[in-house]
Amino acid sequence: MNKSLLYKFLIGIFFLSLFSCEEILLEDDISKSEVLLVAPVNNAQFLSTGVTFSWEKVQNATQYHLQIAKPNFTNPVQIVLDTLIISNTLTYQLNIGEYEWRVQAVNSAYKTPYKNCFFTIVSNEDFQNNTPVLLTPSNDLITNTITQKLSWQSIIGATNYQVQVYDGNNTVINNQTIAATSLNYTFSQGNYYWRVRASNGTQQTLYSSRSILVDTTSPNTPTLTSPVDASTTTSTNVIFQWNRAPILGSIEKDSIYIYTDKALTTLQLKSEVRSSYSKTLNSGTYYWFMKAFDQAGNTSSKSTVFSFTVN
């Protein structure tokens, strides 16, 4: 390698190290912070297999490293769980036995010391105290996909699960008892809730529930009103207006598209807009249209294309 190339290489390494150091310096140092465990408290004993782990949030932490060992981390027979999560709570099913759990807070550059506690699963005689953990779909999902896989974590000792779907009027529209931990269900359009509880034949847990909005209807197509088609204006501040009747369902929004050519190949502007919209434009001829979208992922047809000229 000649001197010129070596010099450039060293300069590049120098600047890369500067950027790396800058990224670390920009991250908040949480290494001296302490994770405060909330539950289970040290030496807690459970008569059900579902345990909810919780701790207080640490300022400037982006994730939490949660680990569970059986019987402890000093002489582990098994690391039962080792996961990074964003939330500061997690429910997990564990077999009867002794455990140690610990949590540390982390961000991209720093981490806190672990905080740990011990607990014991004595039995599963209080089966009803277990909590079904729902997996999919996510809570408050807004979607245009009518068939959804309803799924949840298995509960130790459960022989079956009761799954109910009910509408916004709290009317149960589907009620099934199944042994599996998932159910493919096809919704009609509307707001729904679904819930699951577990049974061991003699005891039942409480229900866990989630909501879902199913919207399969595309928004109405916007109708352009101003500037009118083939019009001319001397003002460079152009005010765009349109009409569209909203449809009941998920939240709807409009987008405007402005081109500088009739073939609609040169896009001047695309923007999400509400009500009327103003834009300062240079002299020239423009072509514009609108489309509407909703939160569920439905899209309207493209509106009529209007043209106008700014002199």
Of 255, 311, 254, 309, the C-alpha closest to 287 is 309
Q: Which CATH number is associated with domain 223-310?
A: 2.60.40.10
| Domains of the chain, residue spans | 37-125, 128-214, 223-310
pLDDT tens, position by position, for the chain (311 residues)? 555 555 555 555 555 555 444 444 588 999 999 999 999 999 999 999 999 999 999 999 999 999 999 999 999 999 999 999 999 999 999 999 999 999 999 999 999 999 999 999 999 999 999 999 999 999 999 999 999 999 999 999 999 999 999 998 999 999 999 999 999 999 999 999 999 999 999 999 999 999 999 999 999 999 999 999 999 999 999 999 999 999 999 999 999 999 999 999 999 999 999 889 999 999 999 999 999 999 999 999 999 999 999 99
pLDDT at 156: 97
Domain 37-125 has CATH 1.10.1500.10: no
pTM above threshold 0.85: no
Q: Classify residue 51 by its DSSP letter.
A: E
Task: Produce one character per residue of 4-32: b if its CB has 16 or more CB atoms within 10 Å, e if not.
Answer: eeeeeeeeeeeeeeeeeeeeeeeeeebee
Bridge partners of residue 21, in order along the sequence: none
Q: In what order do the strands lie in the sheet with 78-85?
A: 44-46, 115-121, 97-106, 63-70, 78-85
Bridge partners of residue 17, in order along the sequence: none
Q: Which CATH number is associated with domain 128-214?
A: 2.60.40.10
Both structure tokens of 90:
């997690």
Structural contact between residues 240 and 268, judged by C-beta atoms closer than 8 angstroms: no
Q: Where are the alpha helices (DSSP H) in the chain?
A: 3-26
Q: Which phi-psi region, left, alpha or beta, contains residue 198 (left: φ > 0; alpha: ψ -120 to 50)?
A: beta
pLDDT at 23: 47
pLDDT at 27: 86
Cα–Cα distance, 291 to 246 (Å, whole number)? 13
